[in-house]
Chains A and B, each alone.
Chain A
Amino acid sequence: MKKTLISAATLMVAMTGTAMAGTLETVKERGAVQCGVTSGVPGFSVPDDKGNWKGLDVDLCRAVAAAVLGDASKVKFVPLNAKERFTALVSGEIDVLSRVTTWTQTRDTQLGINFAGVNYYDGQGFLVKNELGLKSVKELDGATVCVQSGTTTELNMADYFRAEGISYTPVVFDTNDQAAQAFDSGRCDSFTTDLSQAAGLRTRMQDPSAVGALPEVISKEPLGPVVRQGDDTWFNIVKWSHNAMLNAEELGITSANVDKMKAESTNPNVKRLIGLDGPKGKGMDLADDWAYQIVKQVGNYGEAYERNVGKGSPLGLDRGLNALWNQGGLQYAPPMR
């Protein structure tokens, strides 16, 4: 029903002229960033028992709010399922979509949206009950697989099984949570999604230790924040909010030491990031200390990673591909100068 509303909203917006240009002005006027997130994937975006949203994707929204409004708490979170997300973004219901969304060619080129970076390099895997004693995805012939509808996951699974000549029955649900529950209650032999989300959803199952992932990773899933096409200023702001977090980690600036660095550091790279030197907020219509606010209030990328999905969280995921480039990973941000 919500989906229909949003689709109707797209129609309305598409019909009633432009007036969508200045996202930055709209956000400043409103005093809050409207950020589309999942309806609950542990580690990425999930409300805690007090109703505060937590997660890696959530931290990106907060970083944008810190950069634009100087206050990381000024975010209005809009939970969306996979089917609703792009329509919600294009129709202007949200300003940023930060919702474990895979960057693909179709999405980037045909939906009127832009991907502003990759905040998590992921891949698709399969969860099964350990009692089945399976060793490989190739043994899933004839299996029933629970999956979320309207995802790249659904397509990758179809491609992979077709290529391998494996028959299967997909059972498709609106949200990943429903798909995981149906798998948990025995409707399906397997549940497929991005491995990071699988790790998060597994923590919610009746007996997480009875469930394991098969070794194959069948796809590349670069996940990242998305903005509407046609507003370059806003696109730059989101892109550089993410870059600032990566650069801060690379320079060793954390939320704990950023004030000390600001007062003492003589490193020109640090001074530029903190906004004492260099391009500052020019070209993005931001305050000069925008990146400082991000690091101060949200932290650098490594901090966000560790507390949400890394060792400091129930998910306990390794940095792996998401380590910085100089530590063997893929996370690499252009320099701030």
Chain B
Amino acid sequence: MSSDISNSSHKPDGGSAQPKAPPMDKPKFWNDPKKRSLLFQVLLLSALGFVFYTIIDNTLTNLEQRGITTGFDFLTSEAGFGIAMSLIDYTEASSYGMTFLVGLLNTILIAAMGVFAATILGFILGVARLSDNWLISKFATFYIEIFRNIPLLLQIFFWYFAVLRTLPHPRQSIEFFGSFINNRGFIFPAPVAEDGFGLVAFGFVAALVGSWLISRWSAKRQERTGQQFPVFLTSIGLIVGVPLILFLLSGMPMGLEHPELKGFNFRGGITVIPELIALWLALSIYTAAFIAETVRAGILAVSHGQTEAASALGLSKGKTLRLIVIPQAMRVVIPPLTSQYLNLTKNSSLATAIGYPDLVNVFAGTTLNQTGQAIEVIAMTMAVYLTLSLLTSFFMNWYNARIQLTER
């Protein structure tokens, strides 16, 4: 577009061969739009560079003047405080850098769990709200209106205290199948892999690959012959069956570490702390309400003619929804769904209110306060949320581009 315009301005007479192309026809460089815009861009860039340089220089000078230590050296010194839950080995003797990792992993864990649960719940509710069944659609409406209109922080508090208050002390734990529920969390036996378990894991991976190959083969065959193959059932059978058979054949190479009540609390096993449960419930229930509305909007955006055409072909209602409506709705759903995932990830930082050790609580909270390195710590924390958000949106954009209508 712009090149067309500039071209035409260069050659007002369509480039007809003038024997004497007068050199004065060539505009002065400040009248040449291309050069002028280049000049302005260079000016703007240097101005921006100067502003940033001033900001950084000022910051460093001022920090030095006030005797505030700067730099990232603190990351290697010993943290000296404990953290309630960590996915990697962490002790008080670990470094501040480790507290960053612990917090980061805990944030990723709650975000992943939240996204998973909120997506499933949100899709079910979104479809349910459009259901012909009066009860189901009214229930979904009710749910959505309640949960998206109450502030998330209140919901987190509600779940935390609702969960905590009803649970008994460790000594009066509710017990079932070797697992325990009490106000220190949900404690269940930890699986311990023994010799030969690698074979089972290998079988699992092989079954995954197998399923993928079968689905590709079946899609090709259907395109060629129109015949269908029960891909879903076969895959389930493979993924569950193969590892199970291998597991039994190799003599069940898996022990369980049972939790035992010793002194104040249970030792051994895996403990899911109540903070995690409460935060997970609140985040997924809250975000699901928004996702449900997104899904509803997406479904409504699909022309009703599609449904009519599908029923004219004799497709069942379920198949119409699964094969015709939802795939087309997804094109509308994905971009706002991405926003919801980003919101959920960022909202997980409210964890700090109930003591779930996420990145903000552990790193931007305790570590910041113990070291006083506000600028470094906040910058690192912001960088993490930025990276997580960019990754999520990159993945979702890629997925979105993949499922767009392919025009032939």
Residues of A near any B CB (own CB < 8 A): 3-4, 7-8, 10-11, 13-18, 82-83, 86-87, 90, 106-107, 109-112, 140-144, 149-151, 154-155, 157-159, 161-162, 168-174, 178, 182, 185-187, 189, 228-230
> Which B residues lie within 8 Å of A229 (CB)?
66-67
Known contacts being A14-B58, A142-B265, is A185 close to B378, with CB within 8 Å?
Answer: no
Assess whether B26 is interfacial by the CB under 8 Å rule: no
Which residues of chain B (334-374) have a CB below 8 Å from chain A? 352-355, 357, 361-362, 364-366, 368-372, 374
Count the B residues whose beta carbon is within 8 Å of the partner chain — how many?
Answer: 49
Assess whether B264 is interfacial by the CB under 8 Å rule: yes
Q: Are A187 and B164 closer than 8 Å at their CB atoms?
A: yes
Q: Are B92 and A158 closer than 8 Å at their CB atoms?
A: yes
Per-residue A-contact encoding for B71-98, CB less than 8 Å = 1, 0 else: 0000000001111100000001100000
Q: Are A149 and B374 closer than 8 Å at their CB atoms?
A: no
Q: Are A7 and B374 closer than 8 Å at their CB atoms?
A: yes
Q: Are B65 and A83 closer than 8 Å at their CB atoms?
A: no
Q: Which of B67, B80, B368, B375 contacts A11 (CB 8 A)?
A: B375
Q: Which of A140, A151, A162 contacts B92 (CB 8 A)?
A: A162
Q: Are A170 and B183 closer than 8 Å at their CB atoms?
A: no
Residues of B near any A CB (own CB < 8 A): 55, 58-59, 62-63, 65-69, 80-84, 92-93, 161, 164-165, 169, 183-184, 262-265, 267, 273-275, 352-355, 357, 361-362, 364-366, 368-372, 374-375, 378
Q: Are A90 and B68 closer than 8 Å at their CB atoms?
A: yes
Q: Are A149 and B365 closer than 8 Å at their CB atoms?
A: yes
Q: Are B355 and A173 closer than 8 Å at their CB atoms?
A: yes
Q: Are A150 and B68 closer than 8 Å at their CB atoms?
A: no
Measured in the bound complex, the distance between the Cα atoms of B92 and A228 in whole Å is 31
Measured in the bound complex, the distance between the Cα atoms of B264 and A111 in whole Å is 39
Q: Are A189 and B264 closer than 8 Å at their CB atoms?
A: yes
- Among all A-B residue pairs, the 7 with the closest Cβ atoms: A150-B369, A112-B66, A111-B372, A112-B68, A142-B263, A170-B82, A158-B92
> Which A residues lie within 8 Å of B92 (CB)?
158-159, 162
Q: Which of A17, A155, A182 contacts B62 (CB 8 A)?
A: A17
> Which B residues lie within 8 Å of A142 (CB)?
262-265, 267
Measured in the bound complex, the distance between the Cα atoms of B198 and A185 in whole Å is 44
> Which B residues lie within 8 Å of A112 (CB)?
63, 66-68
Min CB distance, A48 to chain B, in Å? Answer: 25
Known contacts being A169-B265, A173-B355, is A107 close to B275, with CB within 8 Å?
Answer: no
> Which A residues lie within 8 Å of B62 (CB)?
13-15, 17-18
Q: Closest residue of chain A to B273, judged by CB?
A: A171
Measured in the bound complex, the distance between the Cα atoms of B66 and A110 in whole Å is 9
Q: Are B368 and A150 closer than 8 Å at their CB atoms?
A: yes
Q: Are A187 and B274 closer than 8 Å at their CB atoms?
A: yes
Known contacts being A14-B62, A149-B365, is A110 close to B372, with CB within 8 Å?
Answer: yes
Q: List 23 A-B contacts (CB under 8 A).
A: A7-B364, A15-B59, A18-B62, A82-B369, A83-B365, A90-B68, A112-B63, A140-B264, A142-B262, A142-B263, A142-B265, A154-B82, A154-B366, A155-B80, A155-B370, A158-B82, A169-B184, A169-B265, A172-B362, A174-B352, A185-B165, A229-B67, A230-B65
Q: Are A15 and B55 closer than 8 Å at their CB atoms?
A: yes
Min CB distance, A214 to chain B, in Å? Answer: 14
Known contacts being A142-B267, A230-B66, is A14 close to B59, with CB within 8 Å?
Answer: yes
> Which B residues lie within 8 Å of A90 (CB)?
66, 68, 374
Q: Are B164 and A185 closer than 8 Å at their CB atoms?
A: yes
Measured in the bound complex, the distance between the Cα atoms of B296 and A180 in whole Å is 44
Q: Closest residue of chain A to B54, judged by CB?
A: A15
Measured in the bound complex, the distance between the Cα atoms of B183 and A213 in whole Å is 22
Min CB distance, A18 to chain B, in Å? Answer: 6
Known contacts being A14-B59, A170-B84, A230-B66, is A150 close to B365, with CB within 8 Å?
Answer: yes
Q: A3-B364, A162-B92 are in contact. List 6 more A-B contacts (CB 8 A).
A: A83-B368, A86-B369, A90-B66, A90-B68, A159-B80, A185-B161
Q: Closest residue of chain B to A140, judged by CB?
A: B264
Known contacts being A7-B378, A11-B378, is A230 close to B67, with CB within 8 Å?
Answer: yes
Measured in the bound complex, the distance between the Cα atoms of B361 and A149 in whole Å is 8
Min CB distance, B408 to chain A, in Å? Answer: 50
Min CB distance, B56 to chain A, in Å? Answer: 8
Q: Are A172 and B366 closer than 8 Å at their CB atoms?
A: yes
Q: Which of B66, B82, B273 contacts A168 (CB 8 A)?
A: B82
Q: Are A141 and B263 closer than 8 Å at their CB atoms?
A: yes
Q: Are B81 and A158 closer than 8 Å at their CB atoms?
A: yes
Q: Closest residue of chain A to B153, judged by CB?
A: A1
> Which A residues lie within 8 Å of B65 (CB)?
18, 230
Q: Closest residue of chain A to B271, judged by CB?
A: A169
Q: Are A10 and B374 closer than 8 Å at their CB atoms?
A: yes
Q: Of B267, B353, B366, which is in contact with the most chain A CB atoms at under 10 Å from its CB?
A: B366
Min CB distance, A43 to chain B, in Å? Answer: 23
Q: Closest residue of chain A to B57, judged by CB?
A: A15
Q: Closest residue of chain B to A181, judged by CB?
A: B161
Measured in the bound complex, the distance between the Cα atoms of B68 and A14 in whole Å is 11
Min CB distance, A230 to chain B, in Å? Answer: 6
Measured in the bound complex, the distance between the Cα atoms of B74 and A106 in whole Å is 12
> Which B residues lie within 8 Å of A158 (CB)?
80-82, 92
> Which A residues lie within 8 Å of B93 (CB)?
162
Measured in the bound complex, the distance between the Cα atoms of B58 and A17 in whole Å is 6
Measured in the bound complex, the distance between the Cα atoms of B353 and A155 in whole Å is 20
Min CB distance, B84 to chain A, in Å? Answer: 5
Q: Are B264 and A144 closer than 8 Å at their CB atoms?
A: yes
Measured in the bound complex, the distance between the Cα atoms of B83 and A111 in whole Å is 24
Min CB distance, A16 to chain B, in Å? Answer: 7
Q: Closest residue of chain A to B378, judged by CB?
A: A7
Q: Closest residue of chain A to B93, judged by CB?
A: A162
